[in-house]
Structure 1
């Protein structure tokens, strides 16, 4: 007689850090302690993965992955993890997994990519 396996229950706990309202941000980025909060305007199915310029209060990020079932966002997280020299677990998608408008929280940052640090120097967070 075969034993029935119990289904493993997955419990998702809400994020402990407060979400920063993107409409109240006066820039594409904000620091929440040592966590960098970025508003992203994503471009899926691009020719190459790239961090672009700021448009309004969003940073443009292009990825080569097509926008199916959140795969473009997952690819973006992997790309940005390499750029920021962090683990993919250090990047949280606050909202926008299935949308071009996203907010990301990046912790344990070792170094800012040159494209991001240049934009921060040009538009300091007030």
Structure 2
């Protein structure tokens, strides 16, 4: 989910800010519930009053385009690099480590030890491509 969120964030930033110049900043944040199979996302747009409605429409178009515009190998590689660099930078932070340990007690998590933190790097690196993204 972090890879997908990073790709969406990149698409929003590239399209709405860089290509269209409609916003100062745009970001995508994914929040998942701990015990329910639900979650929500927030797209934040910072723009001028004259451009804010156009920027919101552009964000909606990027979001709708996830169904038809497949994730490219370049997007996936960029997301992996970004997340791996972020992981290496934040691995010494207690808050980050606690976030990685979340859900270890859940019955749906097959591995019940902290090796998941060590496996995160190999997990990101092993992602090759997505043919279909469930839920999109």
Specify which structure has the higher proportion of helix.
2
Q: TM-score range by the shorter chain?
A: under 0.3
TM-score normalized by the length of structure 2: 0.26
Q: Flag the structure with higher strand content.
A: 1
TM-score scaled by length of structure 1:
0.28
